[in-house]
Amino acid sequence: MILVFLGPPGSGKGTQAKKVTAERGWPQLSTGDMLRSAIANGTKLGLEAKSFMDRGALVPDAVVIGLIAERVLSPDCKAGFILDGFPRTIPQAEALDLMLAELSQKVFMTVLFDIPDSELVSRLSGRRTCLKCGAMYHVVAASPKVEGICDACGAGLVQRDDDKEDVILKRLAVYHAQTAPVAGYYDSQRKLRKLDARLPQTEVLGHLKSLISN
Ligand code: AP5
């Protein structure tokens, strides 16, 4: 099953993708994680991407389409996967349909994580991530047992460079201008389902599971 998780920054796409991956085994394909890993490895692609990410802008379509086109060919994607943060523009959505058609596959469902901007700034500015295992926390809503330390692997937690308030506001503006129209693209294919992303994480997961199984 190929799922697309669509929604503004901080709406909970990554949190829920990890939970569904743990339960169903479909890998989480996060273009944000792939780009951050390229930055951490100091690759040419990473250096190019960093200048866009640090100011809250989208990385050029050709770069992220190339990353996904390569990743979907991996053997672990055969039974399905979850796209988290891709596609983010109409050209990316069209490129995805084309690359999947070549593999005789298609998107099964796009889930829109629906939440007002007013809730997102505090979510994102409070987010802390483990650089080692990728586990995610929030300083108030989902704090680790020991401040600054990952419960799962004991490594240190960090705040993402783009989770500073001025960059968060830019990312939200970019979402509304360039990514929100992707919902209409999937709606016209009758593949769009909406989810109330304001709810607590366990309730969001429950709704997600019922969408996937219906
Ligand atoms: P990316 O890494 O994809 O970031 P994003 O889409 O901005 O999404 P986030 O990871 O910030 O949020 P999320 O929805 O996953 O929320 P999360 O679960 O973490 O992209 C970063 C950058 O990379 C982009 O700005 C762009 O430059 C570039 N990029 C990536 N993909 C691209 C593409 N396709 N094209 C071009 N450029 C691309 O949760 C957030 C916080 O809220 C956490 O602290 C969590 O604990 C908490 N939380 C989660 N759920 C709940 C809940 N239900 N209630 C309360 N708190 C919750």
pLDDT digits (tens, 9 = 90+) for 2-30: 999 999 999 999 999 999 999 999 999 99
For ligand 1, say whether the CB of 185 is within 6 Å of any of its atoms: no
Q: In sequence order, which residues have a C-beta less than 8 Å from that of residue 40 and are 6 or more positions away?
A: 46, 131
For ligand 1, say whether the CB of 11 is within 6 Å of any of its atoms: yes
The active-site residue, picked from 160, 191, 198, 209, is: 160
Supply the residue whose CA is at minimum distance from atom 50 of ligand 1. Answer: 12
Sorting pLDDT into bands at 50, 70 and 90, what band is 211? very high
Determine whether domain 2-27+74-116+178-213 maps to CATH 3.40.50.300. yes
For ligand 1, say whether the CB of 138 is within 6 Å of any of its atoms: yes
How far is CA 130 from each of CA 75, 79, 84, 133, 148, rounded to the nearest angstrom?
A: 27, 28, 18, 6, 9
Q: Where are the domains of the chain?
A: 2-27+74-116+178-213
Helices (H), 72-180: 90-102, 120-125, 165-174
The active-site residue, picked from 19, 36, 123, 127, is: 127
Contact 8, 1 (CB under 8 A): no
pLDDT in tens, 141-186: 889 999 999 999 999 999 988 998 999 999 999 999 999 999 999 9
